[in-house]
Structure 1
Amino acid sequence: MASDSKTAQIPPVPWDSFVAIGDSFTEGMTDTLDESSNDPIYIGWADRLAMELSQRRISDGNQPLKYANLAIRGRLIKQIYREQFAAALAMKPDLISIIAGGNDLIRPGCSPDQITSLLEKMVMQARAQGVEVLLCANYDPKHSPLIGLSRMAIAVFNSNLWAIARRYNCYVMDLWGLRSLRDTSLWAPDHLHLTNQGHKIVMNAALQGLGQPVVDSDYQKPALANKDRYRAAENLVWAREHLWPWVKRHSQGRSSGDGRTPKYPQLIAVTENFLP
C-alpha cells in the first residue's frame, strides 16, 4: 500500500462496508483496464477508494471492506433516488457516497435548489439510519468554455451541498477547489469523464474528505498554465463528436445508461485481487 509518509500513522478505517450510488462519475467512465472491449467495465475513483480502504483494514488485521457500486451512467438525481438509494440502504452499509445531480446541472434551465432538495432528502434518510455519508462538491468547469456555461448553477449546488453537509455531519470530497483537475489531459475526449490519472486524483480527494491520509501528497498540484484550457480546435472536435450526439440522443428521450445494470449490485469483499 502506498503512502505519502512512511512514518505517519494511518488511522483505522472505521467502516466495514461502503456503497456508492450515482451516475457515470461514480461508475468510473472512462477509466477502463480493457480498451479493446466494446463494453468495458470501468474502474473509477470509488473502486480505487474501496481498494485502498480495504487494504488498510487488512493491514490492521481486520476483515476486508465490503463494497457495492450501483452507479449507472446517464442517471439524473430523481432516477438515482428511485432506482439506487433504497437498494443501497437495504444493504445497511456503514458508509454511502451519494454523488448525484451532475447530469441535471448541465441541462439548460436546471434548478440547483431543487436538485439539492432531493439530495438533502437522501442524506436525511441515510443519517436517520446511522449511515455515514460522503458527498461531493462538483469540480469547477471553467476550463471548458461550453460546459463552463453551467458554472454558476454548479456553484449554487456546491454552496447548498456544504450547508447540507454541516447540518447532517457528512464527509465532503471537495473537487471545486482541486486545481489539479483543471489539467485537460486528465479528461476524456468528451470533456465530461476522467482518465485513469484523473480518478486517482479524485480518490485522494475522497480520502482527504474522509479524514484518511492520502496516497499521493502532490495530488492537488495545480495544472500548468498551458494545460488548463481546451484549444479552440479541441472544442470544435468535441462539439461535433460528443455534444451533438448527446443533444440528439436526449432529444429522442434516450440515455447512455438505458438498459444497463450496476457493475457491483451486491456487497462483495474487496480482496487484494479486486483490482489488477
Structure 2
Amino acid sequence: MTAATGADGASLVRPGMSYVAVGDSFTEGVGDPYPDGVFRGWADRLAEHLADHVGEVRYANLAVRGKLMRQIVTDQLPVALDMAPDLVSLCAGGNDLLRPGGDPERMARVLDHAVGRLRAAGSQVVLFTGVNVGTGYMRGAIGLFARYYMNVRAIADAHDCLLVDQWSMRVLTDPRAWDADRLHMSSEGHRRLALRVAEVLGAPTGRRWDEPWPDREPVSWTRARRGDLAWARESLAPWIGRRLTGRSSGDGVTAKRPELTPVARGSVERSESESV
C-alpha cells in the first residue's frame, strides 16, 4: 500500500510526523486500560507503533468519552487546528445517534464542515465507519448508523481523506473484540484496529489485524443469560440513568494527552504481549 500523503503530496508516515486524535470514548481508548487505569486504546497503540517502526512521532489525544459531535467540534477541533498536525483522526457522532432524535444527515453535515476545515489547514484526515454489529441492543439502531456511515464514506471521498472501514472488518464482530460493557472494544479489539489503521496509513505492520480468533468452548444458554443479566445491571442500567438525568460519562474528564509530545520509542517492545 502506498503511504498516506499530506496536502503537498509528502508522505505522512515518516520521522518527525505529528498526529492528533480527536473524538469520544472510541478514540480515548475506553475498554483498553493501562495498568494505572488510564485508557490506552487504538490511537495510543498506533502512535507507539509508528514511533517504533518509522521514527519520531509527536502525538496528542484530545478525545473524551461521552462527547457529542457539537462538543467535539467546538472544544477539540480548534485545538487540533492550532497544532497544525500532519495527521488527524476524527471519529464522532456515535453518541448523538444513540440518543432520541439522532439525525445521521445532520451529523454528516457537521462532520463534513469539520473535515473541510482540517483539510484546508493542510492536515490529512482519517475517518471511520463503525462495526456492523446488528445484534442485541444495537439491532434497532443499526439502520440509522448505516445511513451515517454511508455519509462518512462520501465525505472521505469528497475531501480525499483516508477511511478505515470497520464495517467490513468481520473480525471485530466476534464478542472477544468487545469489552464487558458491549459498547467499547476490548484490548484485543483496540490492538487489531490499530494494526488496520497503520495498514491504511501505509506503515509497516508485520502482524495481521484479521488473524482468525482461536477456537473457544461454546457458551451454554444459562451462562449466556447470566452474562446478559450482569451486563444489564452493571452497564445498561447506569447508561440509561445518565441519559435520564442529563449526565455524561465524560463529565469532569479531560483529555489524557492535550499537547503534541514525542512518543517514547520502544513502547511496543516493552509491552509485547499486548502491543500492535
Residue 222 of structure 1, CA deviation: 6.9
Post-superposition Cα deviations, 1:184-224, rounded to whole Å, max 9, x if no partner, equal 12211110112211111110121222233434225253787
Q: How does 1:120-131 map to 2 (within 5 A)?
A: 120-131=112-123
The counterpart of 1:68, out of the listed 60, 67, 79, is: 60
Residue 85 of structure 2 corresponds to residue 84 of structure 1: no
The counterpart of 2:101, out of the listed 96, 109, 121, is: 109
SS in 1 for 2:141: helix
SS in 1 for 2:181: coil
Deviates more, 1:159-168 or 1:207-216: 207-216
Post-superposition Cα deviations, 1:24-51, rounded to whole Å, max 9, x if no partner, equal 11000121122xx5xx211100001011
Counterpart of 1:172, as a letter, is L
Q: Would you say the 8 A contact 1:31–1:43 is kept in 2?
A: yes
Residue 89 of structure 2 corresponds to residue 97 of structure 1: yes
Residue 18 of structure 2 corresponds to residue 26 of structure 1: no
Q: How does 1:182-221 map to 2 (within 5 A)?
A: 182-217=173-208, 219=210, 221=212
Residues 218, 133 of structure 1: CA spacing in aligned structure 2 closer, same or farther, 3 A cutoff?
Answer: closer
- Superposition TM-score, scaled by structure 1 size: 0.85
Mapped to 1, the partners of 2:83 and 2:54 lie a distance apart of 20
Residues 215, 173 of structure 1: CA spacing in aligned structure 2 closer, same or farther, 3 A cutoff?
Answer: farther
Specify every segment of 5 or more residues in structure 2 that has no aligned partner in the other structure, as ranges: 1-10, 271-276
Mapped to 1, the partners of 2:258 and 2:236 lie a distance apart of 30
Q: Would you say the 8 A contact 1:73–1:256 is kept in 2?
A: yes
> How many percent of aligned residue pairs carry the same amino acid?
38
Post-superposition Cα deviations, 1:202-256, rounded to whole Å, max 9, x if no partner, equal 10121222233434225253787968xx944433322222111111112111111
Q: What is the root-mean-square deviation of aligned Cα atoms in Å?
A: 2.2
Residues 47, 106 of structure 1: CA spacing in aligned structure 2 closer, same or farther, 3 A cutoff?
Answer: same
The counterpart of 1:270, out of the listed 257, 263, 267, is: 263
SS in 2 for 1:149: coil
Residues 102, 81 of structure 1: CA spacing in aligned structure 2 closer, same or farther, 3 A cutoff?
Answer: same
Mapped to 2, the partners of 1:123 and 1:211 lie a distance apart of 21
Mapped to 2, the partners of 1:12 and 1:242 lie a distance apart of 39
The counterpart of 1:153, out of the listed 133, 144, 147, is: 144
SS in 2 for 1:98: strand
Mapped to 2, the partners of 1:12 and 1:109 lie a distance apart of 38
Q: Would you say the 8 A contact 2:192–2:209 is kept in 1?
A: no
Mapped to 1, the partners of 2:117 and 2:211 lie a distance apart of 33
Residues 19, 270 of structure 1: CA spacing in aligned structure 2 closer, same or farther, 3 A cutoff?
Answer: same
- Superposition TM-score, scaled by structure 2 size: 0.85
Specify every segment of 5 or more residues in structure 1 that has no aligned partner in the other structure, as ranges: 1-10, 59-63
Counterpart of 1:100, as a letter, is A
Residue 12 of structure 1, CA deviation: 7.8
Aligned to 2:247: 254
Residue 164 of structure 2 corresponds to residue 173 of structure 1: yes
Mapped to 1, the partners of 2:178 and 2:190 lie a distance apart of 10
Counterpart of 1:52, as a letter, is H
Q: Would you say the 8 A contact 1:179–1:223 is kept in 2?
A: no
Post-superposition Cα deviations, 1:156-183, rounded to whole Å, max 9, x if no partner, equal 1110011100100000111111111111
Residue 43 of structure 2 corresponds to residue 52 of structure 1: no
Mapped to 1, the partners of 2:66 and 2:169 lie a distance apart of 24
Residue 116 of structure 1, CA deviation: 1.1
Residue 10 of structure 2 corresponds to residue 13 of structure 1: no
Counting matched residue pairs gives: 254
